[in-house]
Amino acid sequence: AQKITQTQPGMFVQEKEAVTLDCTYDTSDPSYGLFWYKQPSSGEMIFLIYQGSYDQQNATEGRYSLNFQKARKSANLVISASQLGDSAMYFCAMREVGAGSYQLTFGKGTKLSVIP
Amino acid sequence: ETGVTQTPRHLVMGMTNKKSLKCEQHLGHNAMYWYKQSAKKPLELMFVYNFKEQTENNSVPSRFSPECPNSSHLFLHLHTLQPEDSALYLCASSQTSGGDYNEQFFGPGTRLTVL
């Protein structure tokens, strides 16, 4: 079974609108961390936001927020006031702390296109 | 230089060539990683080094040989590669001070084409 599932291969959003990118995860480890990365066409992976499994509140970083629903095992990324520069691939990733590994498991990604 | 740098940015090689990819991190981290990103597939972790010691090898073929001489430098030596090894190879680094955070910082990647 896939540990990280991103069901939207591609998304379009109008500039200045908000958009939600979906991510569901699968783990039996009670301690884990969830990450979102942005990958522009240049190739570099850029860290956006992090949510720990024990965090009580949803993470926020500027225009990025994470809608964390632990019981449903979802960690959706919300981008508010979309900008043209937000057009990129977005990856959800998870680290299972209890496994003692530093490995990040990534989803297949969602390609976001912002329309002027 | 800041962050994580990778050289070369682009590499074209034949199946009989031997080449090396280089990664350097300027962040004072103690862990370094190699990832492979193929078209339409999730990023695949290849190797993890923590304090210069290899801690993870995700069943990577022996034609890929990593080397970590110190916590700041990581190499990936390539020999007798196959066309299906063509991909973007990303290097990353992080702290491993415990806890669930340990954000990984990525380099710009090396776009490898095997002819």
C-alpha to C-alpha distance for B35 and A21, rounded to whole angstroms: 23
Cβ-Cβ contacts under 8 Å, B33 against chain A: 102
List, in sequence order, every residue forming a beta bridge with A36; answer none if it has no partner.
A49, A92
- Name the more confident of B52 and A105: A105
* Residue A113 one-letter amino acid: S
Q: Is the pLDDT score of A104 beyond 90? A: no
- As a whole number of angstroms, the distance between CA A71 and CA B74 comes to 39
**CB proximity under 8 Å: B 92-111 to A:** 92, 94, 96, 99-109, 111
Average pLDDT of chain A is: 93
Nearest-angstrom CA–CA distance, A77 and A65 = 6
The 10s digit of each residue's pLDDT in B51-107 is: 888 887 888 999 999 999 998 999 999 999 999 999 999 999 998 765 556 788 999
Q: Which residue of A has its CA nearest to B45?
A: A103
CA gap B87, B14 in Å, rounded: 14
The predicted structure's pLDDT at residue B100: 53
Which of B40, B100, B111 to mutate to test binding with chain A, by most A CBs within 10 Å of its CB? B100
Which tokens sit at B64?
């890929």
SS3 A56: coil
